[in-house]
């Protein structure tokens, strides 16, 4: 199933969505989640909260809880064994064995905290990085992928929010 269709199915019946951009801006493609959230600003419905979490998404749990979304989408670089820029929806229960970007706590733990505290549906949008060495700016492959992912997200979020 294509990414847009997967998102449409997952977001079915959503009321409010929190989108978390996760990653280290000093490790090249690890910042893909942050860049996608920045590009979404001003292009999504009011019932979408965009959060630039960098490497500490756990610091945003209070803000997420106060917003009380029905759905939480975490966007992060992930070693998917795919071509650079390929994006997949990954259920939280499947991330235990995956290498995601550098965080203070594992995303699997954070997803459990969110599910228990606000009863939201949680999903990770993993994007295969090309380069996560120290440096700034996305590689050209991830820059192109980010633009494609943003256009999909803008379309699907506008269609899905009640």
- Tokens representing 108 are 């699997």
Contacts of 93 (CB under 8 A, 6+ apart): 108
Q: Could you report the per-residue pLDDT of 111-145, keeping only the tens digit for each?
A: 777 777 788 999 999 999 999 999 999 999 999 99
Phi, psi for 81 (deg, rounded to 5): 70, 35
Could you tell me where the DSSP H helices lie in the chain? Answer: 3-10, 32-40, 61-67, 107-118, 140-160
Q: Is it the case that residue 150 has pLDDT exceeding 70?
A: yes
Domains and CATH numbers, the chain: 3-160 (3.40.50.1450)
């Amino acid at each position: 199933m294509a990414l847009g269709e997967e998102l449409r199915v997952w977001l079915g019946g959503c009321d409010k969505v929190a989108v978390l951009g996760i990653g280290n801006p000093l490790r090249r493609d690890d910042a893909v989640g942050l860049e996608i959230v920045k590009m979404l600003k001003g292009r999504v419905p009011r019932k979408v909260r965009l959060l630039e979490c960098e490497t500490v998404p756990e610091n945003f749990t209070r803000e997420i809880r106060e917003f009380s979304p029905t759905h939480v989408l975490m966007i992060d670089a992930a070693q998917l064994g795919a071509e650079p820029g390929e994006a997949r929806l990954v259920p939280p229960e499947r991330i235990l064995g995956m290498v995601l970007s550098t965080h203070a706590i594992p995303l699997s733990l954070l997803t459990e905290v969110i599910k228990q505290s606000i009863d939201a549906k949680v999903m990770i949008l993993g994007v295969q990085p090309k380069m996560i060495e120290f440096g700034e700016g996305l590689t050209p492959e991830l820059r192109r992928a980010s633009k494609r992912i943003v256009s999909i997200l803008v379309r699907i979020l506008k269609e899905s929010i009640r």
